[in-house]
């Protein structure tokens, strides 16, 4: 469910016409709907409330990588969410947005000593360790800082999530987590390291999952491991089940399982675990809450269907190029006609293609289009390739809206670079 609707012939985000934003800010521009964000938080919360144990209920730690915009994070902070962070930068952003560090989980295979120090200094709630070498480094850093780090190991359950290979993370040949079979010995060694408090287990097998079965298979393995670890004397009090729930990009396909379906499965899989549960949803919170608005620059003949050349490109929205991802593309003022077209950006690569032979609203030069479901891994993955400034972002709330990231002038990009004396 989202709050992007056609009203009086014009596509709106809540009560604001996308064209009004585009007129004021220019294009391309990302537009987020606050009501949609809040709705998805509520849906996720309803799905998991009451699961696991502990006075505070489950921790929903938003995967900041999906959308790190400060205003988005501030919205989620107000809703009471924590954060799944994977870098010093994400820790800083989450702190700046008002997310309590105790509600943060620090994930990632390549945490540096500096990042560990930063996380310890702010008081991050849990480190999800991905290797024994990382545990040893964290122990050294924590002892030097005079602090204790609460840790979980991320377990690689060797389960195929059945999603795109580039976003599968739970197979044994992926770089993530420690091997399932190695876990008991790794926990025993970690428990003996000073500066660490071993408290949990963690798992995350991939993203945009459209089937709950691989998740449940992974959770079943984690449940068995918790019993084994407890048998060996480890007090396991937290279980972090990661993120991964898919969202509907293409409404002509069967809808992915809902958060409610997910909650029912989690209740079944975690029955009797007697741990606090942590969830790290990213896409399901922000995916449908964003649209990328672009202007049609011109049309150009193609062999089978014409090219619609828009002023957004792969640098603004990388997902179609990188994962062959499908985003619905709608005219902001549809005229009732449809046409089969190829939608492309101006970047000088054939990979800069958003849609091929797509039947969509007919558009002409000067019209605007909206790439839907562009709230997750969209602005977050933008680059300045082809010296195209990062796309501005706007947050809508009812009938008001605000620029929450300004378009960076090209002069600022140039000014960050220096030409050494010996070239002048």
Local structure of residue 255 (DSSP, 8 states): P
Assigned token pair, 194: 């000073």
Q: Which residues bind ligand LLP (CB under 6 A)?
A: 63, 66, 84, 107, 167, 204, 207-208, 242-245, 280-284, 319, 323, 377
Structural contact between residues 244 and 262, judged by C-beta atoms closer than 8 angstroms: no
CA distances from 99 to 32, 74, 79, 158, 349 (A): 20, 8, 10, 33, 40
Q: How far is the CB of 172 from ligand LLP (least distance, A)?
A: 17
Q: Which is nearer to ligand LLP, 242 or 334 (CB)?
A: 242
Assigned token pair, 385: 């390739």
Q: Catalytic residue at 348?
A: yes
Local structure of residue 168 (DSSP, 8 states): B
Residue 15: CB atoms within 10 Å:
15
CA distances from 418 to 313, 372, 386 (A): 27, 38, 19
Q: How far is the CB of 63 from ligand LLP (least distance, A)?
A: 3
Q: Which is nearer to ligand LLP, 296 or 325 (CB)?
A: 325
Q: Which is nearer to ligand LLP, 207 or 391 (CB)?
A: 207
| Cα distance between residue 170 and residue 206, in whole Å | 7
Q: How far is the CB of 24 from ligand LLP (least distance, A)?
A: 28
Closest of 207, 221, 215, 227 to residue 264, by C-alpha: 215
Q: How far is the CB of 151 from ligand LLP (least distance, A)?
A: 15
- DSSP per residue, 231-251: HTT----EEE----B---S-T
Q: Which is nearer to ligand LLP, 151 or 296 (CB)?
A: 151
Helix (H) or strand (E) holding 370: strand 368-371
Q: How far is the CB of 1 from ligand LLP (least distance, A)?
A: 17
| Cα distance between residue 344 and residue 308, in whole Å | 6
Annotated active-site residue in 348, 415, 423, 424: 348
Q: Which is nearer to ligand LLP, 38 or 283 (CB)?
A: 283
Tell me which residues are annotated as active site: 348
């Amino acid at each position: 469910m989202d709050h992007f609707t056609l009203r009086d012939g014009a596509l709106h985000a809540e009560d604001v016409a996308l064209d009004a934003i585009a007129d004021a800010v220019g294009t391309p521009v990302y537009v987020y709907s606050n009501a949609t964000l809040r709705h998805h938080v509520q849906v996720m919360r309803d799905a998991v409330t009451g699961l696991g144990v502990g006075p505070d209920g489950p921790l929903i730690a938003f995967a900041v990588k999906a959308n790190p915009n400060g205003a988005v994070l501030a919205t989620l902070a107000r809703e009471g969410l924590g954060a799944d962070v994977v870098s010093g930068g994400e820790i800083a952003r989450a702190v700046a947005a008002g997310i309590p560090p105790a509600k943060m989980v620090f994930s990632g295979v390549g945490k540096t000593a500096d990042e560990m120090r930063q996380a310890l200094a702010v008081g991050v709630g849990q480190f999800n360790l991905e290797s024994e070498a990382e545990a040893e480094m964290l122990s050294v850093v924590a002892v030097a800082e005079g602090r204790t780090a609460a840790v979980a190991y991320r377990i690689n359950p060797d389960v195929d999530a059945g999603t795109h290979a580039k976003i599968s993370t739970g197979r044994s040949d992926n770089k993530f987590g420690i091997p399932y079979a190695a876990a008991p010995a790794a926990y025993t060694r970690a428990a003996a390291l000073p500066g660490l408090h071993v408290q949990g287990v963690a798992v995350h097998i991939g993203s945009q999952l459209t089937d709950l079965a691989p998740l449940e298979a992974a959770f079943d393995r984690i449940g068995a491991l918790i019993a084994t670890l407890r048998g060996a004397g480890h007090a396991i009090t937290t279980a972090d089940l990661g993120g991964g729930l898919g969202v509907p990009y293409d409404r002509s396909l069967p809808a992915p399982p809902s958060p409610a379906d997910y909650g029912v499965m989690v209740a079944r899989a975690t029955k009797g675990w007697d741990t606090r549960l942590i969830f790290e949803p990213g896409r399901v919170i922000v995916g449908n809450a964003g649209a990328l608005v672009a202007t049609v620059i011109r049309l150009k003949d193609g062999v089978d269907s014409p090219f619609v050349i828009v002023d957004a490109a792969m640098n603004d929205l990388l997902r179609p190029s990188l994962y062959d991802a499908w985003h619905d593309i709608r005219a902001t003022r549809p005229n009732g006609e449809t046409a089969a077209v190829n939608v492309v950006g101006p970047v000088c690569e054939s990979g800069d293609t958003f849609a091929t032979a797509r039947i969509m609203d007919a558009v002409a030069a000067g019209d605007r289009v909206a790439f839907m479901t562009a709230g997750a891994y969209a602005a977050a993955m933008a680059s300045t390739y082809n010296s195209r400034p990062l796309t501005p972002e706007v947050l809508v709330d009812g009938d008001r809206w605000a620029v929450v990231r300004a378009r960076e002038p090209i002069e600022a990009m140039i000014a960050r670079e220096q030409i050494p004396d010996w070239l002048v």
